[in-house]
Amino acid sequence: MLNFASDYLEGAHPNILEALIKSNFVSCPGYGDDVYCKSAKEKIKKAIGRDDVDVWFLVGGTQTNRIVINSALAIYEGVISADTGHINTHECGAIEHSGHKVISLSQSEGKLAANTVRDYLETFYADQNHEASVFPGMVYISHPTELGTLYTKAELTELSKVCHEYNLPLFLDGARLGYGLVSPASDLTLREISELVDVFYIGGTKVGALCGEAVVFTKGNTPKHFYSTIKQNGALLAKGRLLGVQFDTLFTNDLYFEISKNAIRQAQRLISIFEQKGYPFFLKTDTNQQFVILENEKMKTLSGEVVFSYWEKYDENHTVVRFCTSWATTDAQMDALEQIL
Amino acid sequence: MLNFASDYLEGAHPNILEALIKSNFVSCPGYGDDVYCKSAKEKIKKAIGRDDVDVWFLVGGTQTNRIVINSALAIYEGVISADTGHINTHECGAIEHSGHKVISLSQSEGKLAANTVRDYLETFYADQNHEASVFPGMVYISHPTELGTLYTKAELTELSKVCHEYNLPLFLDGARLGYGLVSPASDLTLREISELVDVFYIGGTKVGALCGEAVVFTKGNTPKHFYSTIKQNGALLAKGRLLGVQFDTLFTNDLYFEISKNAIRQAQRLISIFEQKGYPFFLKTDTNQQFVILENEKMKTLSGEVVFSYWEKYDENHTVVRFCTSWATTDAQMDALEQIL
Amino acid sequence: MLNFASDYLEGAHPNILEALIKSNFVSCPGYGDDVYCKSAKEKIKKAIGRDDVDVWFLVGGTQTNRIVINSALAIYEGVISADTGHINTHECGAIEHSGHKVISLSQSEGKLAANTVRDYLETFYADQNHEASVFPGMVYISHPTELGTLYTKAELTELSKVCHEYNLPLFLDGARLGYGLVSPASDLTLREISELVDVFYIGGTKVGALCGEAVVFTKGNTPKHFYSTIKQNGALLAKGRLLGVQFDTLFTNDLYFEISKNAIRQAQRLISIFEQKGYPFFLKTDTNQQFVILENEKMKTLSGEVVFSYWEKYDENHTVVRFCTSWATTDAQMDALEQIL
Amino acid sequence: MLNFASDYLEGAHPNILEALIKSNFVSCPGYGDDVYCKSAKEKIKKAIGRDDVDVWFLVGGTQTNRIVINSALAIYEGVISADTGHINTHECGAIEHSGHKVISLSQSEGKLAANTVRDYLETFYADQNHEASVFPGMVYISHPTELGTLYTKAELTELSKVCHEYNLPLFLDGARLGYGLVSPASDLTLREISELVDVFYIGGTKVGALCGEAVVFTKGNTPKHFYSTIKQNGALLAKGRLLGVQFDTLFTNDLYFEISKNAIRQAQRLISIFEQKGYPFFLKTDTNQQFVILENEKMKTLSGEVVFSYWEKYDENHTVVRFCTSWATTDAQMDALEQIL
What phi and psi, each to the nearest 5 degrees, are found at residue A215? -85, 135
Q: Does one domain contain both A194 and A247?
A: yes
- Strands B102-105 vs B77-82: parallel, antiparallel or unpaired: parallel
Name every chain D residue with its beta carbon within 8 A of the beta carbon of B229: 75-76
Name every chain C residue with its beta carbon within 8 A of the beta carbon of B1: 27
Contact D127, C310 (CB under 8 A): yes
Q: In sequence order, what E strands does chain A have?
A: 2-3, 54-58, 77-82, 102-105, 135-142, 170-173, 199-203, 213-217, 281-283, 289-295, 306-307, 309-315, 318-324
pLDDT 10s digits, D110-158: 999 999 999 999 999 999 899 999 999 999 999 999 999 999 999 999 9
- Rounded to a whole number, what is the distance in Å from the CA of B235 to chain D's nearest CA? 12
pLDDT 10s digits, B59-79: 999 999 999 999 999 999 999
Q: Do C97 and B233 touch (CB under 8 A)?
A: yes
Q: Which of D91, D101, D128 has its CB closest to that of C96?
A: D101
Q: Which residues of chain A have pLDDT under 70?
A: none
Q: Does one domain contain both C42 and C116?
A: yes
Nearest CA in chain A to B74: A97
Name every chain A residue with its beta carbon within 8 A of the beta carbon of D94: 231-234
Q: Which of C60, C65, C237 has its CB closest to that of B238?
A: C60
Domain boundary among D255, D286, D317: D255
Q: Do C99 and D99 touch (CB under 8 A)?
A: yes
Cβ neighbors of B108 (< 8 A, separation 6 or more) are none
Q: Do B242 and C211 touch (CB under 8 A)?
A: yes
Name every chain D residue with its beta carbon within 8 A of the beta carbon of B75: 70-71, 229, 232
Q: Do C129 and D310 touch (CB under 8 A)?
A: yes
Q: Which pLDDT score is estimated for C128?
A: 87
Nearest CA in chain C to D88: C133
Q: Do C133 and D90 touch (CB under 8 A)?
A: yes
The pLDDT mean for chain D works out to 97
Q: Does one domain contain both B212 and B106?
A: yes
Q: Do C233 and B233 touch (CB under 8 A)?
A: yes
Q: What is the dihedral of CA A88, A92, A93, A98, to 10 degrees?
A: -130
C-alpha dihedral sign at D248, D252, D257, D263: negative
Nearest CA in chain D to A94: D232
Name every chain C residue with its beta carbon within 8 A of the beta carbon of B206: 238
Q: Do C74 and A224 touch (CB under 8 A)?
A: yes
At D303, which CATH number?
3.90.1150.10
Name every chain B residue with its beta carbon within 8 A of the beta carbon of D225: 74, 76, 131, 135
Name every chain D residue with its beta carbon within 8 A of the beta carbon of A231: 62, 91-92, 94
What gap in Å lies between CA D329 and CA D2, rounded to an integer?
A: 10
Q: Does one domain contain both C34 and C99?
A: yes
The pLDDT mean for chain B works out to 97
Q: Do A9 and D23 touch (CB under 8 A)?
A: no
What gap in Å lies between CA C46 and CA C33, rounded to an integer?
A: 20
Q: Which of B76, B99, B228 has its CB closest to that of D76?
A: B228
Q: Which pLDDT score is estimated for B128?
A: 87
Q: Does one domain contain both D88 and D135?
A: yes
At C44, which CATH number?
3.40.640.10
Name every chain B residue with its beta carbon within 8 A of the beta carbon of D75: 70-71, 229, 232
Q: Does one domain contain both D185 and D71?
A: yes
Q: Do C100 and D96 touch (CB under 8 A)?
A: yes
Nearest CA in chain B to A128: B310
- Rounded to a whole number, what is the distance in Å from the CA of B158 to chain C's nearest CA? 31
- Rounded to a whole number, what is the distance in Å from the CA of D319 to chain C's nearest CA? 12
Domain boundary among B255, B284, B302: B255
Q: Do D238 and A206 touch (CB under 8 A)?
A: yes
Cβ neighbors of C80 (< 8 A, separation 6 or more) are C103, C104, C105, C112, C117, C120, C136, C138, C139, C140, C168
What gap in Å lies between CA A28 and CA A22, rounded to an integer?
A: 13
Residue span of the structural domain in which C297 resides = 2-8+257-340
Q: Which of A99, A127, A313 has its CB closest to that of B96?
A: A99
Q: Does one domain contain both D155 and D279?
A: no
Nearest CA in chain B to C228: B92
* Among the listed residues A76, A101, A104, the one whose alpha carbon sits nearest the alpha carbon of residue B101: A101
Name every chain A residue with its beta carbon within 8 A of the beta carbon of C229: 75-76
Q: Which of B131, B132, B225 has its CB closest to that of D76?
A: B225
Average pLDDT for B248-266: 98
Q: Do A92 and B310 touch (CB under 8 A)?
A: no
Q: Which of D10, D23, D66 has its CB closest to that of A234?
A: D66
Q: What is the DSSP string of C78-138?
A: EEEEETT-HHHHSSTTHHHHTT--EEEE--BTTBPPHHHHHHHHHHHHH-TTGGGSPEEEE
Q: Does one domain contain both C276 and C201?
A: no
Q: Do A24 and D8 touch (CB under 8 A)?
A: no
What gap in Å lies between CA C199 and CA C222, rounded to an integer?
A: 9
- Rounded to a whole number, what is the distance in Å from the CA of C40 to chain B's nearest CA? 17
Domain boundary among B255, B272, B302: B255
pTM for the whole structure: 0.97
* Among the listed residues A276, A295, A285, the one whose alpha carbon sits nearest the alpha carbon of residue A339: A276
Q: Do C239 and B205 touch (CB under 8 A)?
A: yes
Q: Does one domain contain both A97 and A57?
A: yes
Q: Do D17 and A12 touch (CB under 8 A)?
A: no
Q: Which of D92, D131, D133 has its CB closest to that of C89?
A: D133
Q: Do D75 and B232 touch (CB under 8 A)?
A: yes
* Per-residue CA distances from D66 to C141, D63, D171, D173, D283 (Å): 29, 5, 12, 11, 29
- Rounded to a whole number, what is the distance in Å from the CA of A185 to chain B's nearest CA? 30
Name every chain A residue with its beta carbon within 8 A of the beta carbon of C237: none
Contact D106, D164 (CB under 8 A): no
pLDDT of D55 > 90? The answer is: yes
Q: What is the ipTM of this complex?
A: 0.97
* Among the listed residues D189, D148, D192, D187, the one whose alpha carbon sits nearest the alpha carbon of residue D170: D192
Interface residues from chain A to B (CB-CB < 8 Å): 75-76, 78, 89-93, 95-102, 123, 126-129, 131-134, 309-310, 313
- Rounded to a whole number, what is the distance in Å from the CA of A97 to chain C's nearest CA? 11
What gap in Å lies between CA C171 and CA C77, rounded to an integer?
A: 15
Cβ neighbors of D1 (< 8 A, separation 6 or more) are A27, D305, D306, D307
Q: Do A24 and D17 touch (CB under 8 A)?
A: yes
- Chains within contact range of chain C (3+ C-beta pairs < 8 Å): A, B, D
* Per-residue CA distances from A184 to A48, A145, A204, A264, C184 (Å): 19, 16, 21, 9, 82
CB pairs under 8 A between C and D: 67
Average pLDDT for D189-196: 98
Q: Which pLDDT score is estimated for D128?
A: 87
What gap in Å lies between CA D201 and CA B139, rounded to an integer?
A: 37
Q: Which pLDDT score is estimated for A299?
A: 96
- Rounded to a whole number, what is the distance in Å from the CA of D37 to chain B's nearest CA? 19
Q: Which residues of chain C have pLDDT under 70?
A: none
Q: Does one domain contain both B85 and B228?
A: yes
* Per-residue CA distances from B292 to A179, B314, B318, B320 (Å): 52, 10, 10, 6
Name every chain B residue with its beta carbon within 8 A of the beta carbon of A91: 132
Domain count, chain A: 2
- Rounded to a whole number, what is the distance in Å from the CA of D134 to chain B's nearest CA? 8
Q: Does one domain contain both C282 and C202?
A: no
Q: Does one domain contain both C117 and C266?
A: no
What gap in Å lies between CA D211 and CA A240, rounded to an integer?
A: 9
